[in-house]
Structure 1
Amino acid sequence: MSGLLTPTAAARALSFRLKGSLGKAVLLLHGMTGAPGEMKFLAKRLHRRGFSVAAPLLAGHGTDEKALLASDWRDWLGSAREAFAALQADHDEVYVAGICVGGALGLALAAEEPAVAGAAVYSMTYRYDGWNMRRWYSAVTPLAKPFAGLPLLRRISFVEPYPFGLKDERLREGMAATQGAVIPGALDRVPLGAMHEMHRLADHIDRVGRDVTQPALILHARDDDMSHPRNAERLGKVLGGPVDLRLLDDCYHMIHVDKQRDLVGDITADFFGAPPRAGEARAGASADA
């Protein structure tokens, strides 16, 4: 971990923070190979509801595959831990919310830090077993875990397949046109070594889940193209505190940027105790338990 948490030029350029009016803050954690920019839609929605928000760049992210492979899930958690401490210094309550690996990191932080007021997890992924994933991958990946950390195998990488976790046609065509380079600092390939760290983090959540006694919101798309809703159901059974699990009906894996992103923001704000806003539009979106 040495040196990985030292602020880099990428971290300074890509991380962001907005000051709110409630005295409450939300730490927003991007996904594996992602970057803080993917959290901006959610950040703006939460900020409009009064929350301060901070979206740090996770250690090893924001530059290239080599830097990512030099980090592990504990380094990523260290980034979340530092950002949480900074928010805690000037806010009465601090919550965590994250997509996929970011959500798991938020839970890992909540397990070790009782001061985390609550957590929201979007599109939890134990396995890539959604409808757009090759069937053999879900079965083979757990068997490959003992070998995925080997130097040669770690560098093997996979391109994220179309539709890139997006049901919104405009967004996914933009991703296709730019070969995934829409979010500054995000990578368009996933190294096997990083996948290995994702699985190690998921195993950690299974071990410490009972220590997460804070309220947890789990949001997942019914038609998630990357991770089946059974991933969310499994997570709900692991956690030690009250769980609110909801399935969304008009988006894919990237629920925080897809067609129901405003709904995701509003459900999260409500769950974290934001006062209701008169006339807040929610037409055209729905969710159910």
Structure 2
Amino acid sequence: MSRFKLPTRDLTFRLDGGQGKAVLCVHGMTGAPGEMKFLAKRLHKRGFSVAAPLLAGHGVDEATLLRTRWTDWLGSVREAYHTLKRDHDEVAIAGICVGGALGLALAAEEPSVAGVAVYSMTYRYDGWNMKHWYSAIAPFAEPFAGLPLVRRMSFVEPYPFGLKDERLRDGMTAAQGAVIPGALDRVPLGAMAEMHRLAAHLDRVGPQIRQPVLILHAQDDDMSHPRNAYRLQETLGGSRVELHLLDDCYHMIHVDRQRDLVGDLTADFFGAPRAAVRPRVSEAANA
């Protein structure tokens, strides 16, 4: 039995594509598996089995999230990975933001992970739309994150919600926040502090990662500047790293205007089981 309050319904999903290759799709901090469905369907179309787990403490409320640490989130990814690996010859991991960082953390301890795709890596919220008090004080609040008052402080993700696609972000505005079942529309500082601790862990274990890593990041990311992607690339100096900057999306690259390109670049990088139309080279800028 989980020591955390559980969602009232199962938010996870799985798409079976055979017993060969599979991809574990990991959502971001305060997110939920539903945000990975565009990516999952694209990868499934390319021949992969796909599973999307729910990270520990997510899918309920802020109080439940704040009872977890990044190591609990990693435990969710580890458990889902081993479940998927039992039925497949090869399993890779693709994740957005914290989800991608967790995929790398697991790759550092599990040599059998076939590869990792990291979308919109975030060491710090330093994008062009994050020039608010919370992005300025968060790194300095981290030493005090154990204090209940500080941990519970939170901020609402600002418009345009990481989306360049007007139709998608207008839907977010109409819904007054998160529209993905189980996702939260506020980010507690306590959870952000855990994100920073996870990033510090990656700085330590990154040089040990030998699996191939794909880094995708938006040139105009509103939440995390491309410097986050370059920092990760430098940290992973010992592994095979491929980095692409996308030119028509914001932070949520796996659901925004270039989501199909994200899916196809990922499928190609993981060695898609069957052929599909490759994206035009002009749609992505190799860094």
TM over 0.5: yes
CA contact (8 A) 2:217 2:253 kept: yes
Which residue among 48, 61, 65 is the counterpart of 2:62?
A: 65
d(CA) in 2 for partners of 1:237, 1:23: 32
CA contact (8 A) 1:68 1:194 kept: yes
2:272 match: 274
Spell out the pairing of 1:139-288 with structure 2 (5 A cutoff): 139-239=136-236, 240-275=238-273, 277-278=275-276, 280=277, 282=279, 286-288=283-285
- Displacement of 1:242: 0.8
Question: Against the structure 1 CA distance between its residues 136 and 69, is the aligned structure 2 distance closer, same or farther, given a 3 Å change threshold?
Answer: closer
CA contact (8 A) 2:7 2:59 kept: no
CA contact (8 A) 1:5 1:75 kept: no
The unaligned stretches of length 5 or more in structure 1 are: none
Give the aligned CA root-mean-square deviation in angstroms: 1.8
CA contact (8 A) 1:29 1:56 kept: yes
Q: Which deviates more, 149-158 or 169-178?
A: 149-158
d(CA) in 2 for partners of 1:45, 1:181: 23
2:2 aligned partner, one-letter code: G
1:202 aligned partner, one-letter code: A
For each residue in 1:158-202, what CA deviation from the matched residue of structure 2 results, as whole angstroms up to 9, or x when unmatched?
A: 000000000000000000110123100000001110101111111
Q: Which deviates more, 134-143 or 177-186?
A: 134-143
- Displacement of 1:134: 1.0
Question: Against the structure 1 CA distance between its residues 166 and 207, is the aligned structure 2 distance closer, same or farther, given a 3 Å change threshold?
Answer: same
CA contact (8 A) 2:164 2:249 kept: yes
Identical counterparts, % of pairs:
74
2:129 aligned partner, one-letter code: N
Which residue among 88, 92, 96 is the counterpart of 2:93?
A: 96
Q: What SS does structure 2 have at the residue aligned with 1:13?
A: coil
d(CA) in 1 for partners of 2:282, 2:51: 26
Q: What SS does structure 1 have at the residue aligned with 2:129?
A: coil
Which residue among 108, 111, 115 is the counterpart of 1:114?
A: 111
Q: Which deviates more, 236-245 or 251-260?
A: 236-245
- Displacement of 1:24: 0.5
Q: What SS does structure 1 have at the residue aligned with 2:143?
A: coil
The unaligned stretches of length 5 or more in structure 2 are: none
2:33 match: 36
- Displacement of 1:281: 6.9
d(CA) in 2 for partners of 1:152, 1:22: 48
